[in-house]
Amino acid sequence: MKAKDLRAQAYAKLQEANALVDKDGVVTAENKDRFDAIMADFASLDADAGKAQTDEDQVGTLRDRLDWYQQSATGKPLHLNETVLMPGQAQSMGEQFVRSEAYQNLLKSGSLVSDTSAFKTLPVLVGSRGAMQIMAANTDVVQTTPSSGNASSLVTPQYLPGVLPYPQRPLTIRDLFSEANASTDTISYAQQNAPEGSASTVAQAVSTVTGLKPQAAFSFTRKTVPVETIAVWMATTRQALADAGQIRGLIDNQLRYLIALEEEDQYLNGDGNSPNISGIYDQSGLQTYTADDNLDGVRHARTLVRTGASRMVADGIVIHPNDSEMFDLLKDSYGQYRGGNPIGNFAFNQPIWSLRRVESEAMTEGKALVGAFRPAATIYDRQGIVILTADQHSDFFVRNLVVVLAEERTALAVFFPSAFVDFTLAEWL
């Protein structure tokens, strides 16, 4: 049995045991024997899950080492992309797809080697969100014919797994937010407004009109945001889809990356007009600040988060790469770089005033966003990234072409808009 199935059973046992614990955290005498038996079952399932996970990790290590030793034996080095399965790491999206029951059944059916068989796979949920890179698309259709010109670089006489990626911009904005699962197609939540009133000392009443305690009011705005779909598809041939190594690399390096690019832009700049997500800049109640000096201004923006209505502590700053470079190039009156020796101990993307610095081209140049990202906003995923394949599109069936579609459903809830500062940078001199 797979580790995830054993973990699900173990979790069910914990829930069953928890139902026997009263509100004071006590197991009554009448429930003690049953409680002990359930916890014993849990311990056994937990141990089995650990063993199964170890076996699955070893299988992943085995396959990865086979690839490596094949390269060593043939003398042909292979530049693997960052999402290839490595020991101790979760499977990549492409790996999950090619190992899925839906894909394996498609291979066994013979549909991919037939010119007449129509097919459509069941959705395959793939959830890994590790480091990612993209292979630039050289053609509208991924194919395997060596003489096809622009696709010939994907095929060698001897198959070596993986697709060579071209480096693209890193994706880090999603990592700033907390994450949760959504159970419905809309997210309804309470967004906090600025509190009114405050506490104070009160003298003892000496008459019926003295000793009145101060009143405070905390107001909230009910917000409802829909879960939106982010999707992308590509065309490939039946032969290319049958090549598990190639389709795995394309899913990991291309489809997944393109979805993540759109995520970054939507979480920041989505205007809330469906199908757009309501991003940070779409919120009412953001604080604003325009700097005279950019380094001093970041420190003041951090203070605004701390002293604003949310009273939170800022944990990050999102900035365009060009502006981030200008921070690195700041010098003191002696001509020394403020960020440290660029030839010695300099570190790229080092924090600014202890704020995690995130570079993103989704951020407008000349602007920055300072905020308490993790406590103030949450990404809700209704559906993780799903991969579907089918040939029922246009005239694809008669041309032996196949659609590979990737999509996810997600939303952003911003509980404390005042925990973010829309920061306008001063002109760099």
Task: Point out which residues pair with 424 in neighbouring strands.
Answer: 290, 367
Q: Is residue 212 part of a domain?
A: no
Task: Point out which residues pair with 271 in neighbouring strands.
Answer: 278
- Which residue, chain included where needed, has tokens 């973010």? 420
pLDDT given for residue 101 in this prediction: 72
Domain with 19, as residue range(s), is 3-72
> pLDDT tens for residues 325-355?
999 999 988 888 888 888 877 777 889 999 9
94 and 225 co-located in one domain: yes
What's the token pair of residue 208? 């019926």
400 and 331 co-located in one domain: yes
User: What's the CATH code of the domain at 153?
Assistant: 3.30.2400.10
16 and 117 co-located in one domain: no
Q: Is residue 208 part of a domain?
A: no
Give the pairing of strands 220-226 and 228-237.
Answer: unpaired
Nearest CA to 263 among 178, 188, 173? 173
> pLDDT tens for residues 134-174?
333 334 555 545 444 444 444 444 444 444 444 445 557 88
Q: Calculate the alpha carbon distances from 208 to 202, 203, 211, 215, 241 in Å.
A: 14, 13, 8, 18, 84
pLDDT given for residue 110 in this prediction: 65
291 and 169 co-located in one domain: yes
Assign 3-state DSSP to the chain and report helix, strand, coil percentages, each to 5: 35, 20, 40
187 and 47 co-located in one domain: no
303 and 392 co-located in one domain: yes
68 and 116 co-located in one domain: no
Give Cβ neighbours of residue 395 (< 8 Å, ≥ 6 apart). none
138 and 42 co-located in one domain: no
227 and 141 co-located in one domain: yes
Residue pLDDT tens, the chain, 429 long: 777 788 888 888 888 888 888 877 788 888 888 888 998 998 888 888 778 777 766 665 665 555 555 555 555 443 333 223 233 445 666 777 767 776 677 667 666 655 555 555 655 556 544 333 333 333 455 554 544 444 444 444 444 444 444 444 555 788 899 999 898 999 999 888 766 667 888 888 888 778 888 877 667 888 899 999 999 888 888 777 777 777 777 777 778 888 888 999 999 999 999 999 999 999 999 999 999 999 999 999 999 999 988 889 999 999 999 999 999 999 988 888 888 888 877 777 889 999 999 999 999 999 999 999 999 999 999 988 888 888 777 787 777 788 888 899 999 999 999 999 999 999 998
Number of domains in the chain: 2
